[in-house]
Chains A and B, each alone.
Chain A
Amino acid sequence: MRYLPLSDTDRSEMLDTVGVASVDDLFVDVPKSAQQGVSFDLPSHASEMEVEKIMSSMAAKNISAGSVPFFLGAGAYKHHVPATVDHLIQRGEFLTAYTPYQPEISQGTLQCLFEFQTQVAQLTGMDVANASLYDGSTGCGEAVLMSRRVTRRKNAFLSGNLHGHYGDVAKTLTSFTDDNVESLSPTPHDAKADIDALMALVDKDTSCVVVQNPNVFGEVLDLTPLAEKLHENGALLVVVVTEVISLGAIKSPGEMGADIVVGEGQSIGNGLNFGGPYLGLFATRQKFLRQMPGRLCGETEDATGKRGYVLTLSTREQHIRREKATSNICTNSGLCALAFTIHMTLLGEAGFRALAKLNHKHTVDLKAALGKVSDVEVLSNSFFNELAVVLPQPATEVVEALAAKEILAGVPASRLFPNADGLDNILLMAATECVSESDIAALVTALWEVLS
């Protein structure tokens, strides 16, 4: 087996040193009854060529985003990742290192995390960011838990226009804690109605309100009045950003008064990967620092006075605090954070803003093109790179019919909110920098055919 360096001669020499006759003798503590008659319905080892063939044949059954006109968003986005990013994250020194618990020989990872935390804090407009969580949705649940720790209150309200899966995850994570988490119903036709309803619910027992911006229907919101109302009541505003590139165009959550910002960082540096691994961004205000979940990287000096970086404030974490930790998270999304950092440094502020502008432009173009298809109504007025579209037929059927024409048109809203009423005909669409004029033209042509 090509991955196992020991030869039979090595093994027998090592057994001699250990003083046993066979490797079976090393398993004396394993109950005999459990070792007997064990067999597996699994194949034997295979060459690299054979494995490539099996895996490639499965890959070939999928339609990849880059091979067709592609308009899906809703929490995962098709963006171009520069070749340099993927090359650098495959350097063995980054790829095959463990969590940087030995800072003297982990400065590469640690300095990258420090750059990452700086970038995330700047993007979100917050004071501090952690070194990543699993993804945006689990971060959303962590934000609800953190709000309870900060406010010592139990009632959290989730906007109806928060990504349905994010709301589900937050509720699952708080199933067995003391939190009361209430979700409103989606309001695809009226984003303001959702905010008004949230404002009406806030009182002195509220721990936090969770709002997505742009919301799941693509609408961009000014959250300042909601933040003010929450702060008057001693509660926190949690802002969820599923499309981090929007932060290159829209006022940051920090500028709108957010107390915790949760983001999905996949759009920068990371591919679609069928939903994972992704990158949870988590940022907050300085005064809530010690209630944060997840690892933090901090600056310090070594014994000679040279600047260096270490994991810090670990007294919040499970490996020190055990049952009193702020979260049970250990492994996070380190390599995805590295990809984010490298891509962001390649872009720089100028490139990042240009990228955001390009996304917005393509979505403005998409809206204009859809406006010409009869019986199709675009709901979104203020948007970044996502639109909610009302079709004259159930969106699921239209999406399937378009997929048969090799066009991946969007995500039916009902897939995110299977229990909500009135969403069957709504399609969620996104147009990133990867969408071309001809993609939009092909979509419009195919839509005419499918809807006629």
Chain B
Amino acid sequence: MMNRQGRPSQPEKNAPNKGIQTSTGNYGLDIEEPLSYELGNIHTSGVDLPSCGEFESSLGGLERNSDIGIAGLSEPEVLRHYTRLSRKNYAIDMGLYPLGSCTMKHNPRLNEKMARLAGFADIHPLQPQSTVQGALQVMDTLSHWLKELTGMPAVSMSPKAGAHGELCGLMAIRAAHEAAGNPREYVLVPESAHGTNPATATLCGYKVKTIPAEADGRVHAALLKEYLDENCAAIMLTNPNTCGLFEREIIEIADAVHEVGALFYCDGANFNAIMGRVRPGDLGIDAMHLNLHKTFSTPHGGGGPGSGPVVFSERVAPYMPVPLLENDADLALVEGMDVPNSIGRLTAFHGQMGMFTRALTYMLSHGADGLKQASDDAVLSANYIMASLQDVMSVSFEGPCMHEVLFDDRFLKDRGVSTLDFAKAMIDEGFHPMTMYFPLVVHGAMLIEPTESESKASLDQFITSLRSLAEATKQDDVTRFTGAPHFAPLQRLDETAAARSPILKWTPKAE
């Protein structure tokens, strides 16, 4: 199971704050902040609303009479409460965020400004189409960019995130098979795949067959053929893969897949490595989602929202979800519902418009030339990190890598330091940890993706820091690691206790 090796344990107790106890529990800028429920009450409000006086209601006698319990605060208190909480987060705006396969790149504020134009932010999805032509034009323009960059003939804008895009793509693939008379039985997923891939296959009614990784971290057409037969519906392959490597035999893989009548789903989570250089459409792919919140800089927002448009080959395009964008006789853009073989509707409205405006703003800013440069810089930066650390950490697979580099825990052998300890020590150095224990194909994985957003000075500081940590693991006393982080707002949290007896909401203390 992923992300579980060496995963949290009940942590050792540590002495806090050098034994100094402040009366507030605050330590300088490290401020304790209670829950809104402990600060406020049900009578306080930070909003002034016009009074509507008394009137005869028409609620059918179903009035809610008992207290709901929502705590309110005044406006200044709200501002302070959430500002204080915000300071307990790490963020791209604060520093390098090397989460492999997550593409934590710079989030330009021009994107935010454009998404907030009233003409985009304040329009209803079911307004007459004549009143939203500009919004449909954004979708149409973005569609054009996505189709051009991927070399694919069709795109669905509906999916709300990457996993939703996988569902969109794989459902369309299943529909294509059913139309041909046989849905087939299983989907092939490499061992290194994101967990969303097998979970999606299940939702589409498929069994999952796992392809083991080979010694060079890639899928080989020769081995793949042993897993392929006419019961295979599709392969779901991430390329570049989650080991940070380009699948060298991708064209042979696509040929082998198509030879048995199966289809090729590509997880586009790592598209940031290849923008403007190679088009998935030239590699034999039938469907691929793009994560606008990774590759095209829309903010991750502490877990979402995302956006996962899916590009399709001619073979699978007829099964795309509705609505699709079409031109009507007057050349106006309209919501096309007449798609006879469509899998149906994937979400109530048109997808993540707020992400479309941001992504398009980002694309227009870069242009085709800038996007290629961004990919080149992302790949160069990852290789620079690999080259600069390979003598002190263990690189899992020989380079060059793509936009992320995979290390494993061989360099920590017999030092009493786990991947988790090493990663938590990075927090003390002022960095967010890398992706840990993923992919599953190496032991104690550490997947580092610097993105193109880092200056050389920033990369050098990161490298220096990891080198010093790698050196420090050789010392006898490794409490620096096992007790890390020492300098975060909190020390290691007891995840076992959290899961054993879950407390998932605030409740009033019994008097």
Contact with B along A53-79 (1 / 0, CB 8 A): 011111111111111001010111010
Is B290's CB within 8 Å of the partner chain A? Answer: no
Q: Which residues of B contact A109 (CB under 8 A)?
A: 89, 302-303
Structural contact, A348 and B370, CB atoms closer than 8 A: no
Structural contact, A52 and B506, CB atoms closer than 8 A: no
Is B212's CB within 8 Å of the partner chain A? Answer: no
- The CA of A380 and the CA of B283, in the complex, are separated in Å by 56
CB distance from A53 to the nearest CB of B (A): 10
Structural contact, B70 and A76, CB atoms closer than 8 A: no
Q: Which residues of B contact A96 (CB under 8 A)?
A: 91-93, 104, 107, 299-300
- The CA of A165 and the CA of B349, in the complex, are separated in Å by 8
Structural contact, A381 and B321, CB atoms closer than 8 A: no
Structural contact, B47 and A303, CB atoms closer than 8 A: no
Structural contact, A415 and B126, CB atoms closer than 8 A: yes
Is B205's CB within 8 Å of the partner chain A? Answer: yes
Is B46's CB within 8 Å of the partner chain A? Answer: yes
Is B475's CB within 8 Å of the partner chain A? Answer: no
Binds B, one of A86-94, A147-155, A204-212, A440-448: A86-94
Contact check: which of B163, B277, B373 meets A318 at CB < 8 Å? B163
Contact A273 to B121, CB < 8 A, known contacts A118-B37, A301-B494: yes
Is A136's CB within 8 Å of the partner chain B? Answer: yes
CB distance from B174 to the nearest CB of A (A): 6
- The CA of A30 and the CA of B205, in the complex, are separated in Å by 33
Residue of B nearest to A57 (CB): B134
Q: Which residues of B contact A122 (CB under 8 A)?
A: 68-70, 505
Most chain B CB inside 10 Å of its own CB: which residue of A104, A249, A315: A104
Residue of A nearest to B502 (CB): A298
Structural contact, A88 and B86, CB atoms closer than 8 A: yes
Binds A, one of B74-82, B220-228, B257-265, B406-414: B74-82
Residues of chain A at interface, number, CB under 8 A:
208
Structural contact, A62 and B365, CB atoms closer than 8 A: no
Contact with A along B433-461 (1 / 0, CB 8 A): 10000100000000000001111101100
- The CA of A52 and the CA of B82, in the complex, are separated in Å by 30
Q: Which residues of A contact B110 (CB under 8 A)?
A: 48, 51-52
Q: Which residues of B contact A74 (CB under 8 A)?
A: 126
Is A138's CB within 8 Å of the partner chain B? Answer: yes
Structural contact, A62 and B67, CB atoms closer than 8 A: no
Contact A105 to B489, CB < 8 A, known contacts A72-B124, A248-B68: yes
Contact A17 to B123, CB < 8 A, known contacts A169-B348, A319-B3: no
Is B43's CB within 8 Å of the partner chain A? Answer: yes
- The CA of A89 and the CA of B149, in the complex, are separated in Å by 31
Is B392's CB within 8 Å of the partner chain A? Answer: no
Structural contact, A99 and B163, CB atoms closer than 8 A: no
Structural contact, A66 and B344, CB atoms closer than 8 A: no
Contact check: which of B350, B357, B432, B498 meets A299 at CB < 8 Å? B498
Binds B, one of A172-180, A182-190, A227-235: A172-180
Q: Which residues from 87 to 134 on chain A have a C-beta closer than 8 Å to any C-beta of chain B?
A: 87-100, 102-109, 111-112, 114-115, 117-119, 121-123, 128-129, 131-132, 134
Contact check: which of A13, A135, A177, A298 meets B498 at CB < 8 Å? A298
Is A35's CB within 8 Å of the partner chain B? Answer: yes
Is A330's CB within 8 Å of the partner chain B? Answer: yes
- The CA of A298 and the CA of B494, in the complex, are separated in Å by 11
Is B404's CB within 8 Å of the partner chain A? Answer: no
Q: Which residues of A contact B491 (CB under 8 A)?
A: 104, 302-304, 306
Structural contact, A100 and B203, CB atoms closer than 8 A: no
Contact A107 to B85, CB < 8 A, known contacts A250-B63, A276-B347, A301-B494: yes
Structural contact, A18 and B380, CB atoms closer than 8 A: yes
Contact check: which of B57, B75, B113, B135 meets A346 at CB < 8 Å? B75
Structural contact, B490 and A62, CB atoms closer than 8 A: no
- The CA of A18 and the CA of B377, in the complex, are separated in Å by 13
Q: Which residues of B contact A355 (CB under 8 A)?
A: 47, 49
Q: Which residues of B contact A345 (CB under 8 A)?
A: 36, 40, 46, 70-73, 78, 81-82
Is A420's CB within 8 Å of the partner chain B? Answer: no
Contact with A along B1-17 (1 / 0, CB 8 A): 11110000001111110
Q: Which residues of A contact B231 (CB under 8 A)?
A: none
Q: Which residues from 305 to 332 on chain A have a C-beta closer than 8 Å to any C-beta of chain B?
A: 305-306, 308-310, 312-315, 317-325, 327-332
Residue of A nearest to B456 (CB): A10
Q: Which residues from 2 to 20 on chain A have a C-beta closer than 8 Å to any C-beta of chain B?
A: 2-7, 10-11, 13-15, 17-20
Q: Which residues from 32 to 60 on chain B have a C-beta closer than 8 Å to any C-beta of chain A?
A: 33, 35-37, 40-47, 49-53, 55-60
Contact A129 to B505, CB < 8 A, known contacts A134-B347, A136-B348: yes
- The CA of A400 and the CA of B332, in the complex, are separated in Å by 15
Structural contact, B162 and A331, CB atoms closer than 8 A: yes
Structural contact, B497 and A300, CB atoms closer than 8 A: yes
Is B282's CB within 8 Å of the partner chain A? Answer: yes
Residues of chain B at interface, number, CB under 8 A:
215
Contact A104 to B107, CB < 8 A, known contacts A250-B59, A300-B493, A347-B72: no
Is A411's CB within 8 Å of the partner chain B? Answer: yes
Is A334's CB within 8 Å of the partner chain B? Answer: yes
Residue of B nearest to A105 (CB): B90
CB distance from A325 to the nearest CB of B (A): 4
Is A267's CB within 8 Å of the partner chain B? Answer: no
- The CA of A433 and the CA of B128, in the complex, are separated in Å by 22
- The CA of A169 and the CA of B164, in the complex, are separated in Å by 12
Structural contact, B248 and A29, CB atoms closer than 8 A: yes
- The CA of A415 and the CA of B46, in the complex, are separated in Å by 38
Structural contact, B369 and A103, CB atoms closer than 8 A: no
Structural contact, A31 and B251, CB atoms closer than 8 A: yes
Q: Which residues of B contact A87 (CB under 8 A)?
A: 79
Structural contact, B123 and A274, CB atoms closer than 8 A: yes
Contact check: which of B133, B297, B305, B377 meets A334 at CB < 8 Å? B305
Contact with A along B85-107 (1 / 0, CB 8 A): 11111111110010100101011
Contact A408 to B124, CB < 8 A, known contacts A30-B246, A114-B506, A320-B2: yes
Is A344's CB within 8 Å of the partner chain B? Answer: yes
- The CA of A348 and the CA of B40, in the complex, are separated in Å by 8
Structural contact, A360 and B498, CB atoms closer than 8 A: no
Residue of B nearest to A138 (CB): B347
Q: Which residues of A contact B388 (CB under 8 A)?
A: 17
Q: Which residues from 303 to 328 on chain B have a C-beta closer than 8 Å to any C-beta of chain A?
A: 303-307, 321
Q: Which residues of A contact B163 (CB under 8 A)?
A: 318, 328-331
Is B182's CB within 8 Å of the partner chain A? Answer: no
Contact with A along B107-151 (1 / 0, CB 8 A): 110101110111111111111101111110110010011001101
Is A277's CB within 8 Å of the partner chain B? Answer: yes
Contact check: which of B16, B72, B137, B427 meets A105 at CB < 8 Å? B427
Q: Which residues of B contact A418 (CB under 8 A)?
A: 337
Query: What are the nearest 3 A-B pairs in CB distance?
Result: A348-B72, A382-B60, A275-B349
Q: List 20 A-B contacts (CB under 8 A).
A: A34-B278, A34-B283, A41-B144, A55-B364, A93-B90, A100-B302, A102-B427, A118-B505, A122-B68, A134-B160, A172-B345, A300-B503, A302-B491, A312-B495, A323-B208, A327-B203, A338-B301, A346-B45, A354-B51, A361-B52
Task: Beyond the given A328-B196, A331-B300, A382-B58, please list 5 additional residue pairs across the A-B interface where CB-CB is below 8 A.
Answer: A26-B379, A95-B93, A104-B427, A312-B495, A331-B303
